[in-house]
Structure 1
Amino acid sequence: MTTPAPQPVAFVTGAAGFIGFHLCTRLLADGFRVVGIDSLNDYYDVALKQRRQSMLLQNPSFTAITAKIEEPNRLMDLFEEYRFDVVVHLAAQAGVRYSIDNPRAYVEANLVGTFELLEAIRAYPPRHSLLASTSSVYGANTDMPYRETDKVDTQMSFYAATKKSNEMMAHSYAHLYDLPITMFRFFTVYGPWGRPDMALFKFTKAILNGDPIDIYNNGEMQRDFTYVTDLVQGIRLLIDTPPVRPDDGVSPDGDSLSTVAPWRAVNVGNSNSVPLLDFVDAIEKALGRKAIRNMMPMQAGDVPATWADAGLLNELTGYVPTTDIQHGVQAFVDWYRDYYEI
């Protein structure tokens, strides 16, 4: 009689967040035991985070930990207890604009918190660790679509700078301790259960209330909008694709794989840059209402366009996100109306 394989244990930071909630839901459906940590801070509506967490807790294979990842030795203790098979690090202080007003929050959560995580990974290595980066690391780059092999030294916000620092920190640990680490750079993620500080949420709320929406750079903006379940599918496939340090010290052509470490960066985007005004049109259509458009100048720290080359993701996993903006926005609007009983 064969012994059944043990249930794999995944650790997800930022588990009550927008992406964390969707990822945990997917991992639980795939048979993982999931330990999720989240500080449940008040950067945005705590009730929304608590609602996500309560839904996850309906599954007996989910364990919720409420704590800050930057708390000394908090993660080390969890790693010692659970000996995780997979780690997905999503916890961070998010937001480009907020990083101008409160940069210390980004030092604590993004830099110190990631350091604490890397120390725990070093002490109790999982088979693969995946850390969230962002399209914002491409900064002032103007050659598009963005490729993982592009130079990324011109970040435009402190948020982006902390994420680039996370990539460098992770690379050093991967090199020194032979830890397989994938950095996934995601592009303007949206969908049901999204963050209230993001454009789709704010625009939907304002249009329904009859309030004007602020459109920056006079609408001359483009974004590679990525539907949240598409992002989660990319992460899920990457979990099973840990990087391996090249024996010959040479990276394959077009691959961001380090020459000296089991480390790579991977774009997870829709490979389609959509004009901001087309995005607003899609929201208006989904709501059946017109927006009052307040045209504004470009905000400090922002970039006019993002566009992912997802070729490496496809080469590694056979997958490229495909959800179009009309279907994705409609799904969010349907959720919003249901959640807020509108």
Structure 2
Amino acid sequence: MQILVTGAAGFVGHATTHRLLDRGDSVVGLDNFNDYYDPALKHARAATLTARAGFDMVTMDLADADALAALVRDRGFDAVVHLGAQAGVRYSITNPFAYERSNLLGHLAVLEACRHAPGLRHLVYASSSSVYGDRPMGGAGFRETEASETPVSLYAATKRANELMSGCYAHLYRIPQTGLRFFTVYGPWGRPDMALFGFTRKILAGEPIEVFGNGRMARDFTYIDDIVDGVVGVLDRPPADGGHDVLNIGNTNPVGLMDMIMMLERALGREAEKIMLPMQPGDVTATFADTARLTAKTGYAPKVMLAEGIERFVRWYRAFYAV
């Protein structure tokens, strides 16, 4: 297939593109290489892709609707994997308009481009577990049938808006779409704004780490390879008759923040100095994916548990940053 991957220089986009190339697809990657975090990491990811046959990199702002529409029209894509977005819950508190442009206008531009693309088989896009709002720890995993109308950050609100926009376009124009609610993705080539990455940098530098929520939080940490398994599995199975599915994709095994830190300390061979702080605005207490629907559709079964995934991340981090 000929596939467009937006956010191809991002964490999930980079890994997904490699998997698609591995299986013989041709991929055009799109990214704007913004400076939300170090662009050098994004360019390093992109360099691993541009070295491969079957890949073409395009630098473009998603919100440039005319340019995006021309790209989709001219290339004749079979499918679009839309992973480009402004990430970060806490950043959305201080920089709200970055989310309006990238996540709202950008998603609309993708929908409009796909609407006018004859022969498009499937649009897969990234949503987020944050749409569920704040839930207490314990109990059953979050199910797609549960209410998701009380997000507690602007980032989460834009992701829920993306789902509603996609549902509308599927209804009006019969564009087959699947939204994936990602649960705390981590692993090699990860994002520096995520806790595991930041903790690793500070511990190796001998700096204290800030532990929000006084450590009483839990996350359904999901290893990048498992995420890509789900993305590609869904891509090959579009909803029938131009339908729209929204599915959880996670590890189904939430781990407490303090337990994660202990695993990281073991992998690094160092103990962290911890500064305990209250919850930050926009944060949620816990995430926990029920992935029964994704498993039924694709056979999805996460394979990498957190301790092993952290060890793999630490090996990559030490090699990449030579520390």
TM-score > 0.5 by shorter chain: yes
Of residues 90, 95, 98 in structure 2, which corresponds to 1:105? 98
- Tell me the equivalent position of 1:133: 127
Q: How does 1:131-210 map to 2 (within 5 A)?
A: 131-142=125-136, 144-210=140-206
1:263-294 deviation digits (Å, cap 9, x = unpaired): 01111100001001110011001000000011
Of residues 279, 285, 292 in structure 2, which corresponds to 1:304? 285
Q: How does 1:316-335 map to 2 (within 5 A)?
A: 316-335=297-316
1:160-193 deviation digits (Å, cap 9, x = unpaired): 0000000000000000011110000010000000
Distance 2:150 2:99 in 1: 18
Instruction: After the TM superposition, list the runs of 4 or more consecutive aligned residues in structure 1 that deviate by more than 6 angstroms.
Output: none
Of residues 314, 317, 320 in structure 2, which corresponds to 1:336? 317
Partner SS state of residue 233, structure 2: helix
Identity, % of aligned pairs? Answer: 50
> Quick check: 1:230–1:322 contact (8 Å CA) kept in 2?
yes
Partner SS state of residue 60, structure 1: coil
1:29-85 deviation digits (Å, cap 9, x = unpaired): 010000000000111111110011111001120000001010131110011111111
Q: Which 10-residue stretch deviates more, 113-122 or 319-328?
A: 319-328
Of residues 273, 276, 301 in structure 2, which corresponds to 1:292? 273
Distance 2:233 2:60 in 1: 28
- Tell me the equivalent position of 2:21: 28
Of residues 216, 223, 228 in structure 1, which corresponds to 2:212? 216
Amino acid at match of 1:109: S
Shift of 1:141: 4.2
Query: Runs of 5+ in structure 2 lacking a partner?
Result: none
Q: How does 1:194-273 map to 2 (within 5 A)?
A: 194-245=190-241, 262-273=243-254
Distance 2:79 2:60 in 1: 20
Partner SS state of residue 236, structure 1: helix
RMSD over equivalenced CA pairs, Å? 1.0
- Tell me the equivalent position of 2:59: 66
Partner SS state of residue 95, structure 1: coil
The change in CA–CA distance for 1:141 and 1:291 in structure 2 (over 3 A counts) is: closer
Question: How many pairs were matched up?
Answer: 320
> Quick check: 1:313–1:320 contact (8 Å CA) kept in 2?
no
Partner SS state of residue 65, structure 2: coil
Amino acid at match of 1:131: Y
Partner SS state of residue 242, structure 1: coil
What TM-score, normalized by structure 1, do the two folds share? 0.92
Distance 1:333 1:281 in 2: 13
- Tell me the equivalent position of 1:40: 33
Distance 2:190 2:11 in 1: 5
Query: Runs of 5+ in structure 1 lacking a partner?
Result: 1-7, 246-260
What TM-score, normalized by structure 2, do the two folds share? 0.97
> Quick check: 2:68–2:110 contact (8 Å CA) kept in 1?
yes
Distance 1:83 1:270 in 2: 35
1:190-247 deviation digits (Å, cap 9, x = unpaired): 00001111101100000001101011111000000000010001111101111125xx
> Quick check: 1:141–1:154 contact (8 Å CA) kept in 2?
no
Residue 94 in 1 paired to residue 87 in 2?
yes
Amino acid at match of 1:54: A
- Tell me the equivalent position of 1:249: none
> Quick check: 2:131–2:157 contact (8 Å CA) kept in 1?
yes
Partner SS state of residue 191, structure 2: coil
Amino acid at match of 2:133: G
Amino acid at match of 1:219: G
Distance 2:235 2:178 in 1: 9
